[in-house]
Each structure stands twice: as C-alpha cells, then as structure tokens.
Structure 1
Amino acid sequence: MMASAADITEAGGTAVGVGVDVSDPGGGRVLADAAMSAFGQLDALVNNAGIPLVKKAEDITADEWSAVLATNLAGPLFCSQAAAAVMGSRGGTIVNISSVAGSFAIPGRAAYVAAKHGLEGLTKALAVDWASRSIRVASVSPGYVATPFVERTMATGNFSVEDLERRTPLGRLATPEEVAGVVTFLVSPAASYITGSSVPVDGGWMSFGGW
C-alpha cells in the first residue's frame, strides 16, 4: 500500500498511504479522516480489501469463517458508513470489489462465496438507502485476475492457470488494469445513472457456466 502511494506520487499524482484493519469499525473512520485531511473532500470509495480461504466447507472453523466475513463483508460496510458520513450533501460513489463468486458457488470456497454473495446484497441495499443522499453504490465482479492473490490461491494445487484459461471464453486471466478501468468508469460522471448494479469483468466466465 505504501509502495503504491509512493508510485502514484512519483508519477505526479497525490496519494497518502494509511494502514488500517477494515474489519474494525474504527478503521473506516481513520481512512475517511485521512482523506479529508489530505484532500478536503471524499468523492469516491473503493472497497478492495479481501482475504481468501480455500477449504472444504466441513473443515472451516468458526474463527476462519468470522475472519473472512469480517474483512470481506463487514469491512466494506464499516468503510462505506465512514465514507458516507463525510461525503455530505455533495454525495459520492462507492464501488465494492466483488467477484464472480458473488453470483455462483466455487468448490472449496464456502466462506468466500458467502461473503461475496453478501457483498452483492449489501451493494443493492446501500444503493437504495443512500440514493436520496446522492451516493451511488455499485460493484465490480472480476473473474480470475493475474495478481499475487490469485497466484497464492493456485499454489494450493486446486487448479492451474491453464485450467482458468480453458474455463474462460476469452482464454486468459484479466489484468488489474482492466478491472481498474471499469472502476474508473463507475466513479466518473459517465456512470451517473448507475447504482445498485454489478458489472462483470470476467472474460465471459459467468456466461460460459461450466468447467
């Protein structure tokens, strides 16, 4: 995170790195306060924090279940609450990074799938609750993206990059830039009438429907 902030600054932008635990309600408030202090206003929030868990459903412990839902579902709620509180009458946009796992199940990922399904529901609920405050809420549902996160998941041996490429109609993993491009669109004026919706960035994964 700090390295990313440094890269943005080096490229001529302005960025502030702040490390928090998003599963703690106070973490979101720290982030919102830091944004207000650095920029004077908060126009957009992207809830991108998440943790994986690859484990048979019958073997998931209470602590593991709680940890996944705390970060992947409660975290976006807490950060969104904090962001909405400082957006004020100007409104703003909240984008939740969901997953294709928010629309269907993937074997061995019960906790992750449950959290992402919950995040899709939260996106719709906040969009309805906060529309009168001019706050739009949408989600982005990536398929498999070429990131260290996915590399760690593949390291479990459950599947390979070849498996994913064969399963994806476009025949490759997404790049982070392709996901970021959709997020950039959603927070822009061009998406001013989009709220409560989920945008797939999955290379046709959900349209294919099988292994």
Structure 2
Amino acid sequence: MATVQSKLPEASVAGLVAIVTGSSSGIGRAIAGRLAAGGARVVVNSRDDGRAKEAADEIVAAGYEAVGVAADVSLPEGGQILVDAALAAYGRLDVLVNNAGIPLVRAAEEITPEEWATVLATNLTGPFHCAQAAARVMLPARSGTIINVSSVLGATAIPGRTGYSTAKHGLDGLTKSLAVEWAARGVRVLSVNPGYVATPFVEQTMSSGRFSADDIERRTPLGRLASPAEVAGVVAFLASPAASYMTGAQIPVDGGWLAYGGW
C-alpha cells in the first residue's frame, strides 16, 4: 500500500459551481466572495431579489462570475429554485453552502409557536430541503460537497437561545446523517461552526441578548470576534479537493470558545 502521494490535492475551488444561501450580507456574502475569488462560479441568494443581484453584481464587478437569485430557503421549494438557477446558468452543481439563518433570543417559556416554527424552518428544515435538491444533482454525478454553516451553539447552549441552539444541534445531526448516507455515492457533507463573528446578525443578537462585544472578547481565548473572511476561508478549504477525505465533521471556527472551560 502506498503511503506517500506524488501529488497532493490542491486547496482550490477553481472551476466549481457553488450555491451560497443567505449570501447578500455577513458570513454568506464573505463566503460567496471568497469562492468566486478562488475561481468558482457562484449563485448568490437572498429572499429579496434586489439584494441578491446587488451582491452578485459586486462579485462580477470585481472580475469574477456570479448570478443573484431570490428564493426563500425556509420554504420547501426554495432549494430547488436555487439548484435550477445553478444548472441554467452554469450547467452543473458542485458545492452547496447552507448559510441562511436567523437568530432568536427569547426565554424558552416565552417562545411562541410561530417563532419556533420560523427558526426551525430557516435554520434546520431549509438546509434539509436545499441538501435534498442539491443531492438530486450531485448523487448521479457521484461528486459534490454540502457545507452547513452551524454554530458553537450546535455543540453547547446558552440561556435564552433554546430555539436557535436546538436548530443548530439538529443541523449538526443532519450533517452527520447525510454524510454517512451519501459518502459511498461521492457526496461529502460537513458543518462549519463559527463562534461570534463581527456581522449585523451578531450585532442584532447582542442587542436583543443584552451583551456586548467586550463580553464576547473576554470569554473567547483568542480575545476577539472572528471576521467573516476567517469563516469563509475555512469553507473554501472544505469545498476544495484538499479536504477530499473529510466528511461528517463539525469544524469549530470559534477562537477557542468550545475548548475553554474557565470562568
């Protein structure tokens, strides 16, 4: 058995076609930009058509390839709309990044049925439907990568985050389940689990949760929030051939948050 490869896989996404849900702002926009800059052709997504096209136009203006597509991925048909758009624009699909998500900061006993349904539909059920739609293309091709943007709250819990944390725990479970089911047919499935990232999403969560960036910096061993680009870099690596033996894993991008057991 050979133990040394003469040529290692490259950490390049050049030539791949990727869908990034919720990519008109924040982490998703950084991921779409990073993949496009690496040579991928990207379907940028928002529920709002104008926001999707504006984010895609920014990528095109920088000299890369992208199209903006409006779709609500909390609805069962949202994922299929994006897959159809990728096939229409580029004729193939190699990568799906399930990034779209919404926060919910609420005492568990106060969560309404509507809030519970909405946070699960966007953060868990939506990624499942998007993965299904993508897999119908990837499985016959025996090739593809699905990356779910989860959270450190997929592995732990904070008071007031029951809906969000439950959804992210489910998303990590979905990652493992799909990974072991589809591995033999050439499709890899992974989760990226960010800690606190400097985005409008986190600013909203801090405001409603009554904590500050200083609180997060004190709790994080690296002493700061992440930048969206730092998460995007990990996603790009996982989407590349260099990560070809990785599937079913949850990769923290958290500045040491989950490792830290101090006060």
**TM-score normalised by structure 2 residue count:** 0.79
Higher helix share: 1
Q: CA RMSD in A?
A: 1.0
Change (3 A) 1:150 1:89: same
> Displacement, 1:6?
1.1
> Displacement, 1:25?
1.3
Deviations 1:138-178 (A, max 9, x none): 00000000000001111225210000000000000000000
Higher strand share: 2
Which secondary structure does the structure 2 equivalent of 1:5 belong to? helix
Deviations 1:179-198 (A, max 9, x none): 00000000000000000001
Which secondary structure does the structure 1 equivalent of 2:259 belong to? helix
Matches within 5 A, 1:54-65: 54-65=105-116
> Displacement, 1:207?
0.6
> Displacement, 1:100?
0.2
Q: Does residue 131 in structure 1 map to residue 173 in structure 2?
A: no
> Displacement, 1:51?
0.5
Distance 1:83 1:158 in 2: 38
- Name the counterpart of 1:109: 161
Maintained 8 Å contact 2:75/2:126 = yes
Deviations 1:78-98 (A, max 9, x none): 000001111232410000000
- Name the counterpart of 1:51: 102
Maintained 8 Å contact 2:105/2:209 = no
Distance 2:209 2:141 in 1: 49
Choose the corresponding residue for 1:20, options 63, 71, 84.
71
Distance 1:162 1:16 in 2: 38
**TM-score normalised by structure 1 residue count:** 0.98
Q: Which amino acid aligns with 2:125?
A: A
Distance 2:181 2:225 in 1: 35
Matches within 5 A, 1:1-211: 1=24, 2=52, 3-87=54-138, 88-211=140-263
Q: Which amino acid aligns with 2:238?
A: L
Distance 1:203 1:157 in 2: 21
Distance 2:146 2:81 in 1: 17
Number of equivalences: 211
Structure 1 unmatched runs, 5+: none
